[in-house]
Amino acid sequence: MSTLTALARARAAHAGRAVPITAVRHVHLSDEPLVLIPLMQAGEAAAPLAVMAGTDRAAPQLLLVAQPRNRDQRFDFLTRFAEVLVPYIAARRQHTETVEPTKNHDEWERCTDAPQLILPNPAGVEALRLLGRSARFRTVDGPYPVDPRVPLLGRYLTWFADDRAPMPGSGVCLALTSALSQHWATGQSALEDQHLPALLSWIDPPEGMSGAEAALLAEDPDAVPPAGPTTDPAFDTGVLAPLVRAQEEARAAQDMRAVAKAEEELRVALAAQLEPTWQTVWRGIDVLRGLPAAASDKPRWQVDRGRFTDFMTGIEEGLPPQPKRPSAVAAARRLADLESARQSYDRSQAIDDPLVLARYRVGGEAFAGRITFVDAERQEIKGKRAWPRPLVVLHTQDEVILRPGVKLASPARVAQTVRLRAVRRGEAGGYEVELELQSGMGRGKTPEEGSVPLVGEERCYATFLAEQRGTRPELPETDKTPWTHGGPPWPHVARAEDQAEEWH
Amino acid sequence: MPMSPSVPQATASAPAPAVTAARLDALRGPVPPRSHDARTIAALTVNPGCSRRAVLDAAGVDKRKLAERIGFPARYGQSPFAITRGLAFEKQVKADGCTALLELLRGEPLHFDVPEHEYVDLGVEPTADSGTPVTVDRAGRYERTRRLFARVAAGEPLLADHPLLRLDVGGRTAYVEPDVVALSARPSGASESAPARLYVAEVKSFAVIDGQADPAKVGAAATQAAVYVLALRRLFAELDVDPRIVADDVILVCPKDFANQPSAHILDVRRQIAAVERQLARLPRIGALIADLDPTVDFDLAVDPPEAQGESGREHRSGVELGKSLTMIEARYAPECVTNCEMAFHCRAESRAAGGADALGRSVRDSLGGIQSIEDALAVADGSAGVGSEQHEAARLLRAAARAYDEALRVTPRVAEPEVDV
């Protein structure tokens, strides 16, 4: 945790209200997100109990499984879940735009929109991942045939929860608690921030209440049901277990009226558990929408749209479902992707957001201050040519621990690399930093208009903004995986073992 | 500070054990003691410096009841669905003298060389409620366990179900109850002459999907199993048998993927054993801890039966008195306590009321440079308070953070261009 974030938490605790730690919103919000609140049965690996879903806050759909341990009911539930998700995704696949060819890529068609799932918390995303894993290897024939939409749903959920959700900067599958705590520091601990109603209470308390008071009230599971995917054990004991039993007994007695009655009661009980969370999630989305989107929001969402197009194309071309375990090459590639996404997400946030950049100032990786001297004429003779190498002196109150020779860049002009030449203690306190501009000044002998900072200008320079972007490690083609890494992976075949996978 | 240097060391000036035991009994009052179990011993590795929990546990105070009485009822409890599933799975693994378990060990991928075992059930069926008061004769059961393992040490292949083991925790004896089994086996590849070792098998009902399970659950299971290994080794040491007969590895039995099919996994718990051992050794000697306690401190939760029907019983101590006693023993609160200790909500309220940085979590407290109070940290940050020389670095960072934050608020961020409505 950065000192700045720790300080923000201390300030929030003191004020009784959350404190912003970003100036802009760094997660994309779709115009029409699909909100999903999964509830899973306690003690089982992936037994769905219910899902509340929808793109319209006034009209949530409630899907439920009357007996989560019953295999047929579970697949029936997944089919109905697919009926919600598949059309939502198909609608975003319809329209495309042409992307101009580049050096490495031919011209291609990219979807103009991508789906966005919003879940209350990371545990909800994990529940989706498990549902996806349990459904994607199912087949329409074999020992336990399922509706063709079930394996498709499995692949979609896997893509959202396993492929994209962990990818830094991706917005197609958001956990609301993570998105909110990325933008606000509360006066409670990070552990307590995982509780959505409490977290939101700190950020947006009801009238006449402090965030701290509201969060305390929101923690009471009797007053505010937990945001899932696990239900309150007291609810399981007092409400759910008797209803499931009543429903089972009615079924055993083949009393269809009693079955319908029990199921209706179950529906009412689960709706009562889910509806408060449904409202909270939408309120959380409103709060996030209240922040202006960062400048990098569009390019980031464009990446998501591209990945979505790739994924859909893969399905249309008949690629097999995502493997249970990635091959060696795929895993290495994935790791490199995650690292470079992390780097580029951190970087773009720091460029867009002065509050994010401030964290690096405290850590000594950046400093900010006023330009006190500029020699724009300065040149360096290299070979037969003279290169512009303007000299700039910046006065900062930040403690500068960087060594001469370090390369830096400023969010005001990211493409311009400067070299730190010397650091001196300022006469009136602070530090005088002497910088040499090395690039980003055009091709001429003299710097382009506007490419050199002016005396009096406020600038911030940071080391990581000048770092070379990580290049992907060179990896062999998948079919040339060396034996040290298990050799080329076996092609996927729908195995009877997968179809017959027991699922109690 | 949890342990000030002035706290006398046990060897130096601790009172005699009998005195300590009497004082602990007095602390608890006339109610049966609650004892440590593997779960609470494992929890010691999480927050070992908390004197409050150490004293309450040593005195066998029912912390859950105590928390209720002082107005901070802990929301613990397991879903009946989870309990049913857990019991059903354990029953399945242990059916017919643990046939399924032995098959797992002999089969893929472990290939253990397991001789035919005689199955001995040393205990009673575990009940759904982990909080059942201990009514069985524990000393007797321990004695039976001890005799059985003496036979095992002599080379008899015995499979012990529900053994009862003992462990010294902070100067008091705690019983731990592996709801599991210990059996002797030889790992695959070991030579014929290699001695068979004793393995602790732990049956858990969380799923291992594609070879992966929830790391938090595996971690908790490993620490619990380490407690059993440790207790088993102590027993063999008492029997004058080399404790290394008990393997460092434990066998974790979990459902595979989405089925109820059990699968066995080897867990190396050496690290956990070392952690539990270290914490047990480090536990502030209870005698020294309670020797300094105010004589008025006690946690008597007893309630006398009502004199007349319809009246409520007379509590020996009111909630206020109990709360006051609690405040006289130092706690070391961290947000993670919520998952391990029934007193957590009380300690949290106390920490918050005192404006303690602990309530914000360890990483925040560390980033505030060891300044204990939120008020102080803020005063240092805005320059209105000075600090001692040892906090100079923390103060520098805090001031830099405050300045950077406040300056950044005045800088215009880069926002996305507004969408043009079509």
* pLDDT tens string B155-169: 788 888 888 898 888
- B155–chain A nearest CA distance, Å: 39
Which residues, in sequence order, are CB contacts of A343 under 8 Å at separation 6+? A469, A470
Residue A45 has pLDDT above 60, yes or no: yes
Total Cβ atoms within 10 A of residue A399: 15
Q: How confident is the model at residue B4 (pLDDT cuts 50, 70, 90)?
A: very low
- Neighbouring CB atoms inside 10 A of A142's CB total 14
Residues of B in contact with A236 (CB under 8 A): 79-81
CB contact under 8 A, A4 and B378: no
Whether A358 sits inside 8 A of B381 (CB atoms) is no
Query: Per-residue pLDDT averaged across A283-287, rounded?
Result: 97
- Asked if the bond preceding B109 is cis, omega within 30° of 0, the reply is yes
* DSSP SS3 for A104: coil
Average confidence (pLDDT) over B100-122: 83
Calculate the average pLDDT of chain B. 83
Nearest CA of chain A to the CA of B385: how many Å?
15
- pLDDT over 60 (residue B14): no
CA distance A5 to A228: 28
Sort out which chain A residues have CB atoms less than 8 A from B411's CB and list them. 23, 354, 458
Q: Which of B77, B352, B415 sits opposite A234 (nearest CB)?
A: B77
Q: For residue B1, what pLDDT band results from cuts at 50, 70 and 90? A: very low
Q: What is the pLDDT of residue A4?
A: 94
Mutate to test the interface with B, among A137, A189, A359 (most CBs of B within 10 A): A189
Neighboring chain B residues of A41 at a CB cutoff of 8 Å:
81
Residue with tokens 């593997």: B38
Structure tokens at A14: 């003191």
Partner residue opposite B404 with nearest CB, options A231, A352, A361 = A361
Residue B13 pLDDT more than 70? no
Stronger pLDDT, A205 or A484, i.e. the higher one: A205
CA distance B198 to chain A (A): 30
A96 pairs with which residues across the strands?
A111
Q: Is the pLDDT of residue B5 over 50?
A: no
Window 188-207 of B: residues touching A by CB (8 A cutoff) are 205-207
The string over A401-434, giving b where at least 16 C-beta atoms fall within 10 Å of a residue's C-beta and e elsewhere, is ebeeebbbbbbebbebbbbbeebeeeeeebbbbb
Question: Could you give the C-alpha distances from A114 to A111, A167, A311, in angstroms and in order?
Answer: 7, 15, 11
Under the banding of pLDDT at 50, 70 and 90, the label for residue A496 is low
Considering CB atoms only, which of A7, A45, A294 is closest to B401?
A7
Question: Is A214 in contact with A201 (CB distance < 8 Å)?
Answer: yes
Q: Check residue B6 and give its pLDDT.
A: 42
Cβ <8 Å between A10 and B414: no
Collapsing DSSP to helix, strand or coil, A254 comes out as: coil
Give the mean pLDDT of B18-36. 82
Alpha helices per DSSP H over B70-200:
80-106, 138-153
Cα A210–chain centre separation: 29
Predicted pLDDT at B128: 43
pLDDT in the model for residue A493: 64
Question: Between chains, do A191 and B374 touch, taking CB under 8 Å as contact?
Answer: no
Separation of alpha carbons B329 and B299, rounded Å:
12
Residue with tokens 């004589």: B295
Q: Which of residues 65-104 of B touch A (CB under 8 A)?
A: 75, 77-86
Q: Minimal Cα distance from B205: which residue of A?
A: A43
End-to-end Cα, chain A, rounded Å? 42
**d(C-alpha A362, C-alpha B342), whole Å:** 38
Q: Rounded to a whole number, what is the distance in Å from the CA of B319 to chain A's nearest CA?
A: 21
Q: Which of A107-121, A166-180, B243-257 has the lowest mean pLDDT?
A: B243-257
- Taking 70 as the threshold, does the pLDDT of residue A495 lie above it? no
- Kindly list the residues from chain B whose CB atom is less than 8 angstroms away from the CB atom of residue A192: 335
Report the pLDDT averaged over residues B56-74. 88
Across the interface, whether the CB atoms of A24 and B413 are under 8 A apart is answered: yes
Q: Which chain B residue has its CA at the smallest distance from A412's CA?
A: B414
**In this model, does residue B408 exceed pLDDT 70?**
yes
Residue in B closest to A369 by C-alpha: B407
Residue B327 forms contact with A (CB below 8 Å): no
Quote the ipTM score.
0.87
Of the candidates A2, A240, A398, the beta carbon closest to that of B367 is on A2
- Among the listed ranges A374-383, A397-406, B7-16, B271-280, which one has the minimum average pLDDT value? B7-16
Q: What is the mean pLDDT of residues A336-345?
A: 92
Confidence category of residue A43, pLDDT binned at 50, 70, 90: confident
Give the type of residue at B193: S
Alpha-carbon gap, residue B53 to B63, rounded angstroms = 9
pLDDT value for B43: 82
| Burial classification of residue A122, based on how many CB atoms lie within 10 Å of its CB (0-12 exposed, 13-18 middle, 19 or more buried) | middle
Contact with chain A for residue B422, Cβ under 8 A: no
pLDDT, average across residues A93-115: 92
Name which of A65, A436, A489, A94 is nearest A270 in CA terms. A65
Is the pLDDT at A283 greater than 90? The verdict is yes
Is A357 close to B364, i.e. CB distance below 8 A?
A: no
**Which residue is associated with the tokens 């903004």?**
A465
Residue A355: closest CA among A19, A17, A118, A13: A19
Minimal C-alpha gap between B129 and chain A (Å): 13
Better-predicted residue by pLDDT, B135 or B21: B21
Partner residue opposite A399 with nearest CB, options B377, B400, B405: B400
Over residues B178-208, the pLDDT tens digits come to 766 667 777 776 666 677 788 888 999 999 9
Q: In this complex, is the C-beta atom of B376 within 8 Å of any C-beta atom belonging to chain A?
A: no
Which residues of B are less than 8 Å from A44 in CB distance? 81, 85, 207
Name the residue facing A295 among B367, B402, B416 (closest C-beta): B416
Residues of B in contact with A24 (CB under 8 A): 413-415
Chain A residues with beta carbon closer than 8 angstroms to that of B366: 1
pLDDT category at B126 given cuts 50, 70, 90 is: very low
Supply the pLDDT for residue A501. 57
3-class DSSP state for residue A23? Answer: coil
- B220-247 pLDDT tens trace: 999 999 999 999 999 999 989 888 888 8
Average pLDDT over residues A191-216: 95
Q: Give the pLDDT confidence score for residue A91 in this predicted structure.
A: 96
Q: Which of A405-414, B184-193, B276-285, B311-320 has the highest mean pLDDT?
A: A405-414
Distance from CA of A381 to the nearest CA of B (A): 37
Please report, as a single letter, which amino acid is at residue B199: Y
pLDDT value at A483 more than 90 = no
With CB atoms and an 8 Å threshold, state whether B407 touches A221. Answer: no
Q: Chain B closest CA to A89's CA: distance in Å?
A: 23
For the record, the structure tokens of A451 come out as 């490419």
Question: Alpha helices, DSSP H only, in A207-327?
Answer: 211-218, 233-235, 241-252, 256-289, 297-316
Describe the crossing of helices A122-135 and A149-158 by its angle, rounded to 10 degrees: 140
Amino acid at residue number B371: I
In the predicted model, is pLDDT for residue B8 greater than 50? no
Is there a contact between A44 and B85 if contact means CB atoms under 8 Å apart?
A: yes
Judged by CB atoms closer than 8 Å, whether chains meet at A189 and B359 is answered as yes
Whether the pLDDT of residue B340 is over 90: the answer is no
Residue B365: pLDDT over 50: yes
Q: Is the pLDDT assigned to residue A419 strictly greater than 90? A: yes
pLDDT bracket for residue A88 (50, 70, 90)? very high
What six digits make up the tokens of A133? 């894993």
Nearest by CB to residue A10, choosing from B258, B378, B407, is: B378
Q: In chain A, which residue's Cα lies nearest the Cα of B72?
A: A220
Write the pLDDT tens digit of every residue in A431-446.
999 999 998 888 878 8
pLDDT band at residue B3 using 50, 70 and 90 as cut-offs: very low
Read off the pLDDT of residues A13-22 as tens digits, 9 standing for 90 and up: 999 999 999 9
What's the mean per-residue pLDDT of chain A?
91
In sequence order, the β-bridge partners of residue B212 are B209
Q: Do A45 and B83 touch (CB under 8 A)?
A: no
Partner-chain contact B409 A458, CB within 8 Å: no
Q: Do B367 and A6 touch (CB under 8 A)?
A: yes
Within 8 A of B361 by CB-CB distance, chain A residues are 189-191
Per-residue pLDDT averaged across B295-309, rounded? 82
- Put simply, the answer to whether A14 touches B78 (Cβ < 8 Å) is no
Chain B residues touching residue A130 (CB < 8 angstroms): 209
Query: Chain B, 219-258: which have a CB under 8 Å from a chain A CB?
Result: 255, 257-258
Highest mean pLDDT among A365-374, A439-448, B9-18, B111-120: A365-374
Q: pTM (2 decimals)?
A: 0.89
> Which is it for strands B262-268 and A379-382: parallel, antiparallel or unpaired?
unpaired
Q: Please give, rounded to a whole number of angstroms, the shortest distance from the CA of A502 to a CA of chain B.
A: 5
User: Are the beta carbons of B361 and A352 separated by less than 8 Å?
Assistant: no
Share of chain B above pLDDT 90, in %: 25
Q: Which of B86, B261, B374 lies nearest to residue A10, judging by beta carbons?
A: B374
What CA–CA distance (Å, rounded) separates A160 from A36? 12
Task: Give the burial class of B294: count Cβ atoms within 10 A of its Cβ; 0-12 exposed, 13-18 middle, 19 or more buried.
Answer: exposed
**Residue B380 sits at the chain A interface (C-beta within 8 Å):** no
Does any CB of chain A come closer than 8 Å to the CB of residue B377?
A: yes
CB contact under 8 A, B416 and A411: no
CB pairs under 8 A between A and B: 196
Over residues B263-285, mean pLDDT: 86
CA–CA gap between residue B322 and residue B328 (Å, rounded): 10
The pLDDT, as a whole number, for residue A325 is 84
Across the interface, whether the CB atoms of A241 and B85 are under 8 A apart is answered no
Could you say which DSSP state residue A353 is in? -
pLDDT of residue A365 exceeding 90? yes
